Amino acid sequence: MAMLISGIGTAAPASRIPQMDAYSAMSNTCCDSDEHRRVMEMIYQGSGVKHRGSVLVGAEPEDFIRADDRDEFFFYERENEEDYGPSTQERMRQYEQHALPLAIKSSVAALRDAGQDAREITHIVTVSCSGFNSPGVDMGLIEELGLNRNTSRTHVGFMGCHGSFNGLRVAHGYTASDPDAVVLMCSVELCSLHHHYGWTTDKVIANALFADGSGAVICRSSKIEDRKPAYQLIRSGSFLVPNTKFAMSWRIGNHGFEMTLSQKVPALIEENLVSWLTPFLAREGLTIKDIAGWAIHPGGPRILDSCLAALSLSNSHVAPAREVLEKHGNMSSSTILFVLDRMREERINGPVVALGFGPGLAIEAMLLKAENI
């Protein structure tokens, strides 16, 4: 049974930092030499990101970091090679402070977009890989949005950039089993809390890409005809590429969560995507050429390039994803909801495929049908 996505809401932090201001502010936390600074500048320039939101940015970009006031500003200049920045505990305190307000903002926007009364929500699915606290965002949404206190809660945690695919799969299960279910799925990610100190190339790449944001959707059974859907979720699928555990990981360290990101990831996607996606689409009688729109998670410019090459797409097919990356950065699991929201502006009707990639190396896909957009 298909599921209607009847509303989408997104929220980014009020303050954003231009990408090269972020480089200037943070270079002394990573670089030990002029060569490091030269390479880091090239990484930031080639990231495809022009601006990023962070809950840690003040009124001015330079407020992101100050060497002269370690008490007022969360990040500070590195003192020595053994300085790895704030502890994970300190970073999680920031997550607990800032995650819920951003989640509320996107959820309110989704409810408004769907014309949905918050008191009709029966289930909440929350998604995040960038922080932990309990009572968490799910309970906070019940309290702050005035939801029924019997609302069921499920959290999808620590799955990475494809977490919202799994969150929507959970929502799909709820609506398939109960035609009266109305599900709020909310993803919130504060990736800027995990800025890595010291020089490791893959972590500097992560520093250059990741940002903060929240996306939410309202999901209902496709049997309900009283609202026009933004999208109809037809099918979802997942594929774990063999022998790729090395390619991407996300682990908890003493000074934030640590990403490893192999330079082979784009090639692995290009080599494996079509052979898995072709039979996935064939189950609905579709081919790659039948797809009207592509909502691809913009993990970075090379990820988008690999999808473009593998699927023989034109640049216009990945334009919405590139625009989201440019304007907001990679907001991990929330990003795909920004891309789907942006695609509504293109008024694409017909089959849409959403793709995401995460630790494993895992490929996640959703087949959606866009109607009345």
Active-site residue set: 161
Structure confidence at residue 66 as a pLDDT band (50, 70, 90):
very low
Candidate from 45-59, 203-217, 225-239, 300-314 with smallest mean pLDDT: 225-239
Helices 335-344, 319-328: axis angle to 10 degrees equals 120
pLDDT grade for 204, boundaries at 50, 70 and 90: very high
Task: Provide mean pLDDT across the span 285-310.
Answer: 97
Helix, strand, coil shares of the chain as percentages rounded to 5?
40, 25, 35
Helices (H), 239-300: 265-282
pLDDT of residue 372 exceeding 70, the answer is: no
Q: What percent of the chain has pLDDT over 70?
A: 93
Tell me whether strands 152-157 and 51-53 are parallel, antiparallel or unpaired.
Answer: unpaired
The yes-or-no verdict on residue 243 having pLDDT over 50 is yes
Of 302, 195, 199, 294, the C-alpha closest to 253 is 195
pLDDT average, residue stretch 46-70: 71
Tell me how far apart the terminal alpha carbons of the chain are, to the nearest angstrom: 21
Please determine, for residue 60, whether its predicted confidence score (pLDDT) is greater than 60.
no
Topology of the domain comprising 231-370:
Peroxisomal Thiolase; Chain A, domain 1 (3.40.47)
Q: What angle do CA 134, 135, 141 make, to 5 degrees?
A: 125
The average confidence (pLDDT) of the chain is 92
Would you say residue 276 has pLDDT above 90? yes
Domain boundaries, the chain: 231-370
Residue reference for tokens 């014309």: 115
Provide the pLDDT for residue 69. 46
What are the tokens at 262? 């192999």
Quote the pTM value.
0.94
Q: How many CA atoms lie within 13 A of 73 on its CB side?
A: 19
Q: Across residues 105-129, what is the average pLDDT? A: 97
- CA 229/CA 218 separation, integer angstroms: 10
CA distance 335 to 52: 12
Band of residue 169 on the pLDDT scale cut at 50, 70, 90: very high
Are 231 and 368 spatial neighbours (Cβ–Cβ below 8 Å)? yes
